[in-house]
Structure 1
Amino acid sequence: MSPLAAVGPAFTQVWTAFTVDTAPTPGVAVVNLVGPGRGNMMGRAFWAELPQVFAALDADESVRAVVLTGAGNHFSTGLDVAEVLGGWMGKLGPGSVAQAAQRTELLGLIREMQAGITSVATCSKPVIAAVSGWCIGGGVDLVSAADVRLASADAKFSVREARLAIVADVGSLQRLRGIIGEGALRELALTGKDITAERAGRIGLVNDMYPDAAALLEAALGMAGEIAANSPLAVAGTKAILNEDREEIVARGLRHVSLWNSAFLHSEDLLEAVAAMGERRPGVFMGH
């Protein structure tokens, strides 16, 4: 197999929230989350570009496996709530009367974000997530859509949405059930607690742990190289078969939570969560 030629649109297009590069290993692409924003936060550019990046990689015959990682010290600190949801505070706030159009628009936004994460899960090229530092909220949604998750010893994971008065709505609640099991999923999702890479390994969230980011990337590239050396037809077929039942169940769950959040996302608790984030204090929630 000839070395990966970086000529496809995934490699040649200039992205805002990502870089896409070739790896020394033939057939392997490396997708880096690069922000913009503190800790590779997931702003509007991220959600717009994510499905485009993975559609381009899916269509590129020179790509046989993908390593997904974060630039800098963290994988991702999750959704940029202020940028993505800030505008909805006014649209659905006090004084609003008829809100069907606004809630329909919000439903469309949620489903676009869901489709972005799903593009990783349904990409015919296997995706290995290599996680260092924080992986919070939307970051966990993203890695739950990968085929394999590896972590460095400093990695920390948090399904944090409940602490922000949000029901996680882009895939972690649906996909993690088959990865870590019902009990661990409910613990993480209902408490919003942070867990270490060691705990993530014990519950099966990550396949293996490495001492530092350099060793992690080396291992991820090595595993991607093993995949890339196999028959691409057999690999794509294997992933399609593995996805069959799961993605049908996931799609049903995503439809449900998108309707739930388009109806109930806006609350006094959400406004309090946003204010608390800005003031760097714990939120005080009253269930309103």
Structure 2
Amino acid sequence: MGNTSGTAFTQPWTAFTVEQAPTPGVAVVHLTGPGRGNMMGLAFWAELPQVFAALDADDSVRAVVLAGVGSTFSTGLDVQEVLGGWLGRLVSGATAQAAQRTELLGVIRSLQDGVTAVARCRKPVIAAIHGWCIGGGVDLISAADVRLACEDATFSVRETRLAIVADVGSLQRLRGIIGEGALRELALTGKDITAARAEKIGLVNDVYPDHETLMAAALEMAAEIAANSPLAVAGTKAVLNEDREENVARGLRHVALWNAAFLHSEDLLEAVAALGERRPGVFHGK
């Protein structure tokens, strides 16, 4: 690992802040939006892989704490900003859309690569979750090594409620974290679950009474990791990731192809309209 200039700490990010914790070797990454509820818009997806590549390359960093600013971790994908332009391009009934769907496939793979950068980072990542953690937020924390939560945290793999197949990693990575039955329940219903339920199924390791205690616990765990041999820690993470990430990569390829072919539907248009009108979607499988 060569020494670097620490660009993660000096780059003027739009959707993140990156700070050195008081404990040596620990970096703190905060999701900062700029959308409401730290929503994941275009800036987030462009910067996510850059942030974690910079942390991976920085010898001063041995562990990372990932958290959200404000009252929530993340309300997930900004559907309008990221996918809104596609709604009019994949026109129902058009005879040839190979070019558009190929481009959409590239967009999906780019989003997947952003989350995979978190899993690939050689420095262990501890996600500290408070408030809402929805959709893309769950994709993101599933790529972390350890998840801790505040009592007020609420989790949801919500994509089926938006007429979307979750395609950025939660369906692939959560199987090894919470097991098949709990994953299918969350993914097929799109239900919200509490921090207590998340702890029971193994989505989070521990639950803390308030945000301050949560962050203190995350920083303490990061400090424990940072005190160990960085070569041994990186090697341990690589060995733990080996089998999982090969299976994840295969699943990500499959779902990217699926959504490039089938994402556009009347149900998706209805889901977007329902979001704008703050009402439940009414779906007809078209």
SS of aligned partner of 1:39: helix
Which residue of structure 1 aligns with residue 131 of structure 2? 133
Which residue of structure 1 aligns with residue 83 of structure 2? 85
SS of aligned partner of 2:155: strand
CA contact (8 A) 1:6 1:22 kept: no
Q: How does 1:270-285 map to 2 (within 5 A)?
A: 270-285=268-283
SS of aligned partner of 1:66: strand
Which residue of structure 1 aligns with residue 17 of structure 2? 19
CA contact (8 A) 2:4 2:57 kept: no
Alignment pair present for 1:32 and 2:7: no
SS of aligned partner of 2:36: coil
SS of aligned partner of 2:148: strand
The residue identity in structure 1 corresponding to 2:226 is A
Alpha-carbon distance in 1 for matches of 2:245, 2:98: 29
Alignment pair present for 1:234 and 2:244: no
Alignment pair present for 1:247 and 2:245: yes
Offset, 1:71: 0.5
SS of aligned partner of 2:59: coil
Alignment pair present for 1:148 and 2:146: yes
Q: How does 1:166-185 map to 2 (within 5 A)?
A: 166-185=164-183
TM-score between the two structures when normalised by the length of structure 2: 0.98
Q: Structure 2 vs 1, CA of residues 201 and 6 (structure 1 numbering), >3 Å: closer, same or farther?
A: farther
Alpha-carbon distance in 1 for matches of 2:41, 2:91: 22
Alpha-carbon distance in 2 for matches of 1:93, 1:31: 39
CA contact (8 A) 2:75 2:137 kept: yes
1:201-241 per-residue CA deviation (whole Å, 9 max, x = no partner) reads: 00000000000000000000000000000000000000000
Alpha-carbon distance in 2 for matches of 1:28, 1:279: 43
Alpha-carbon distance in 2 for matches of 1:69, 1:6: 24
Instruction: Using the aligned pairs only, state the percent identity.
Output: 81
Please list every run of 5 or more consecutive structure 1 residues that lacks an aligned counterpart in the other structure.
none
Alpha-carbon distance in 2 for matches of 1:6, 1:111: 28
CA contact (8 A) 1:73 1:133 kept: yes
Which residue of structure 2 aligns with residue 113 of structure 1? 111
Please list every run of 5 or more consecutive structure 2 residues that lacks an aligned counterpart in the other structure.
none
Which residue of structure 2 aligns with residue 49 of structure 1? 47
SS of aligned partner of 2:77: coil
CA contact (8 A) 1:6 1:21 kept: no
Alignment pair present for 1:212 and 2:210: yes
SS of aligned partner of 1:91: coil
1:7-46 per-residue CA deviation (whole Å, 9 max, x = no partner) reads: 5110000000000001001100000000001100000000
Offset, 1:94: 3.5
1:70-95 per-residue CA deviation (whole Å, 9 max, x = no partner) reads: 00010000000000000001110246
Alpha-carbon distance in 2 for matches of 1:239, 1:122: 9
Alpha-carbon distance in 2 for matches of 1:233, 1:208: 27
Q: Structure 2 vs 1, CA of residues 164 and 41 (structure 1 numbering), >3 Å: closer, same or farther?
A: same
RMSD across aligned positions (CA): 1.1
1:40-73 per-residue CA deviation (whole Å, 9 max, x = no partner) reads: 0000000000000000000000000000000001
The residue identity in structure 2 corresponding to 1:41 is M
Alpha-carbon distance in 1 for matches of 2:5, 2:22: 15
Which residue of 193, 196, 204 maps to 1:195?
193
TM-score between the two structures when normalised by the length of structure 1: 0.97
Alpha-carbon distance in 1 for matches of 2:284, 2:196: 34
Which residue of structure 1 aligns with residue 101 of structure 2? 103
